[in-house]
Every structure is written in structure tokens, then in C-alpha cells.
Chains A and B, each alone.
Chain A
Amino acid sequence: MVQIITGAEMAEAAKAARKRKPGRPPKAAAGMAAVNDMPPTDELVTMYRDMLLIRRFEEKAGQLYGMGQIGGFCHLYIGQEAVVVGLQSVSKPGDTVVTSYRDHGHMLACGMEADGVMAELTGREGGYSRGKGGSMHMFSREKNFFGGHGIVGAQVPIGCGLAFSHKYREEANVCMTYLGDGAVNQGQVYESFNMAALWDLPCLFVIENNQYGMGTAVTRAAAGRSLADRGAAYGIPGKQVDGMDVLAVRTAGAEALAHCRAGKGPFILEMKTYRYRGHSMSDPAKYRTREEVDAMRKQHDPIDQLRDVLMKQDMTEAALKTIDSDVKAIVTNATEFAQTSPEPDPSELYTDILKPLTGGATSVEV
């Protein structure tokens, strides 16, 4: 039984939140994990490690971008780690994941190798897409990660299609379809909500509300009370969750996934989260104050919060330090790999445009 934040702290945080419009941090009270849901220590450690890996990976990606080794667009996930790590911790084998372009964290959480992700960022042969997709377009069939999509909202009907394929094959799996607070205003999201509800598709819509769609605060772009309500007209249940608290995410995720798995149709989780960095690397982030970012970091950082939990469970500094060094080593190795993996061969320009007809029973050979 561990209490993460005291009542006084919560009250203070809530007060601070009211002052910090429009970039409000999540309601501290809303997402606190029920204490009886506390997972065993080894699972907490895994989540800590997974979040730390994303954090360190993204910091390194930012650094490599600054050095000109990563090109194009690069959207970092720093600050939002609890969302994907918490949900993956309660997923089942065979569940599928699809998201938009802020996707590095999702790939790592799905178990994709840091080497291959980083090498894709540097546009090398060793990347998951052999250097042909880049930051926004990576996939792993093996890890059930279906992208990595560059068009805001386009991944939502695709996620419904993956959920459709689970239902069609009568598998007890769910597609976790991630979208941002920017995407929730796209028409195709509602086309998707409608079909998902109509056909009871096992689709968990995870709205990562990081408060800003590029430079526009969610309050300036989205009408209505909460994004969790956006499925109300279709009868899709929705819930707001403190997306900075990995335990709250885990609890809510388990409940929502159980709903989808039971054949009750889709579910919406609005994860109130926050990205510390700009929308992409070239975003000066002048639409919010430094104080707002600092307050989120200091009071709600997902990694610090879980660290506190672990310390209260008699985890030693030394043990945490070991995790830290292990994670650092993975990122260092990934960087080394991404810098030394060769550029794709020029002949790769013309591969993978169309699949060859592979003969087999159904193909015509005369």
C-alpha cells in the first residue's frame, strides 16, 4: 500500500492547475491508482526501466537531430512515457498497436529493438524500414506494431480495421489505436467511432491529450467538455486518466481492455499527459510558458513518480542506478549502431514498391 501523493500536495497541484490555463496539467486526483491495484515490484521495475529507456532514447534522438544526423521531422515523446508503458504492461500477446507520428516510444514499448529504431531515424540500412520510412513510418509485424502514420487521424480507421480483423478471426485481441488531441477533430475519427460502435469492434481508442496540437492549445481547438466524451453520441464509454501516472494508466487500461476483449465494443481513454519538448524539433514552443513546462516536470514527471514508489518499496539507489546504466548502455549501443550501419544501397530505391505475385495455390500459372 503506497500513497504516491499526499492530499495536501494534490490540493496544491489542483490549485496550480487552475492558474495554468490553457495548458492545464492533468488532474492529479483523477488518475491516482487505486492502492489495491499495486503491481508486484518486478513489474514496477520493468515499467520504470521501459519509461527510462524511452526517455533516454528520445534525449539521444534529440541530440542526434541537433547534430544533423537525423533529418526531416522528429517528434519526441518525452513526458508522455507513462501512457504507452502503462498500457503495454496490461496488453496480451497478439494485441495490435497503431499510432501517428510521435511513435518512437510506442515502438520501444512494443518490444522493438532500440538499434533498429535509431538506425531508421538516421536513415540507415539497419533501420526497421531499411531507411525508407524514417521517424514517422516504422512497423514491426513481429511485434504487432502497425505504424507509425504520418497523416493526422489516418491511423484511426486503420486501427478499426485491425480490430475488425481480430473480430473477424474471432481472436480475443484488441487493437490499441492511439491518437492525439489534435487528431480528435478530424472527421475520419468520428467515422471510425461510428463503425467501431456499430460493429462492436475490439478497439481501444487512446487519446493522448498532451494539451497542444502542434502550437494550438486543446482549449482553442476542441469544443466540448472533455475528449473522453467524444464517443458519447455513439455510446462509446470514455474515461479521463492521469496519463502522467503509469499506475493510473495501467489500472484504467486493464479495465478498458477487458471491456473490449469481452466483446462489448470500443472504449475511449483520454490520457491527460504532457510533452516536455516542442511539437517537433523546430518548434520554439512560444505558445506556453517555461514555468508551465517546469511545473509539469517537477510535480508530475512519470519517471520520478514511479521512482518515488519504488524507493518507498525499499528499492535501493544502487539498484536504480544499475537500471540507469543498463538503459544508457542500450541507448549508447543503439546510437553506435545507427551511426555505423551503412546507408541503404542505391538499388533499394526501386524495391518494395509492389509485392511480387508469389505463386502458391491461388495464383495463375499457365
Chain B
Amino acid sequence: MITSSILLAITTFAYLLCALLYLAGVIFRRRTIMLWGTITGAATLAAQMAGIILRWRESYQIGYGHAPLSNLYESLVFAAWAIMLIYLVMEYRTKQRALGVFPALFAFLAMAYASFSTGVSSKIQPLLPALKSNWLIAHVVTCFVGYAAFAVSFGISILYIARESKKKSGGDAHSLLPDLRQLDELNYQMVLFGFLWLSLGIITGSVWADLAWGAYWSWDPKETWSLITWLIYAALLHSRTMKGWRGSRVAWLSIIGFGCVLFTYFGVNFLLGGLHSYATTK
């Protein structure tokens, strides 16, 4: 019988395959290989969706009955899914296949960390009373859609900086990759999208915290770090209106911003603790 853990294990390797196909397509400059990357990515996304739904059902069968968004393992799985979903939508809308390497790689890394790290328990656990609320779904989904958009933007930024340095050193332009102006524009759109969802995530968290603890903001480390992330991306969005700040500086800010995302997600759990401590492992 197919269980969620089998499907999610398959997903992990399928994302690796997907990333390798995109990479091979870019290296050998073959559109067909990249098309296979897209197909693999879309199929994996569907399989993973099925895995998540199955896990949801299994949690009801055990008797706990909650959406699979409650601990580190489940959030990593959802993050991988969201990264791939956002990337594929972007690919469909911009017809730019060659950007798939990084998102697929990030999705694989998230899944691999979730599956193979000894610190991450994949067991379905019951919910603490504080988490029993429909706000859980709204809060986690919005936050992670935001994080995923920033992950995609991070990939675009790396590509931007790499292309720019290659251009400066007089290297040839890669025919399959978007040019610098397009990358900058895509990056801005992606950051704005992520900013919208991060804001939604912070706001849903805030409204929920007011409902559960009676304080919409308590400077808990997780809250504060999400605000830091928000501030960095707000700085990025504003800096684009200034002369000479397009391009590589924006790309660097996006990279710093994604560093903040990672710290908000992992660093706070492992190093700082606080109200969100249930998001760690055990």
C-alpha cells in the first residue's frame, strides 16, 4: 500500500533528478533536456501533493487529525512543495526554463534534510493546545509561500551575479538564460510577491497570537527575525527606486534577505528558542 512516507521518499530523489536535468540542459544547451526537467518537476510536485494529502489523512486515522504543517519535518516538506510550485508557475508565465536548477536543488535539499537528518522526526505527532486553530494553516501556508518565493529570488540573484561577473570578464552570453535586465525584473517581481506573502504570514501570526496569548506582538525571537527579514526586503524594494541601485546591489540584498529567511526558519529554532519552540524537532 502506498503511504505518505513512500511518496515523500520518492519525491526527494525525483527533485534531485529534476535539478540534474535542468542543470544538464543548461550545460549542454539543450532545450529538450530542460523540458524533461520541467516534466519531472511537475510530476514530482503532483506526487508530493498526494503525499501531503495522504499524511493529512493518516493523521486523522491515528486520531490526531491535523493538517501536516505542525513541525519541522512537515514544514520542510511543504517548503519544498511551495518552492517548486512557485517556480513552475513562474516558468509557465515567463517561458524561461533555464532558471529551474536552483529551485529544484532547493526543493531537493529541503526534502533531503527532512528525510535524512537525525534531528528531524518524521513521526506524526499530536498538536499542542496552542496550535489547535485554523489559523495554523493560514499562518504556516502564507509564511512558507513567502519563504519559497524568496528562495526562488535567491536563485535568480545568484544567477544574476554570476552572469554579471562573466559579462565583465568578457565571457560569452548564454543563449538559454535570460539577460541581466530580465533577471533583475524577474527578481523584483518575485521579491514583491514574497513580500506580500511574508506580510500575510506575519499578520496572520500576529492576529493568531493575539487570539491565543493576548499579544499581537511580543518581540519573541521568531517574530523579531521575521520582522528583520521583512525590513531587509522592504529596504530592497525601496532601494530600487533610487538611482544606480538596480541590478547587483538588489541581488546582494536579496541574498542577505534569504540568509535572514534561513535564520528565521532554522537559526531561531536551534539557537534562540522562544514561543515557537514547538517548531523544532522532538
Bind each other: no
> Footprint of B on A, CB under 8 Å?
none
Chain B residues near A (Cβ < 8 Å): none
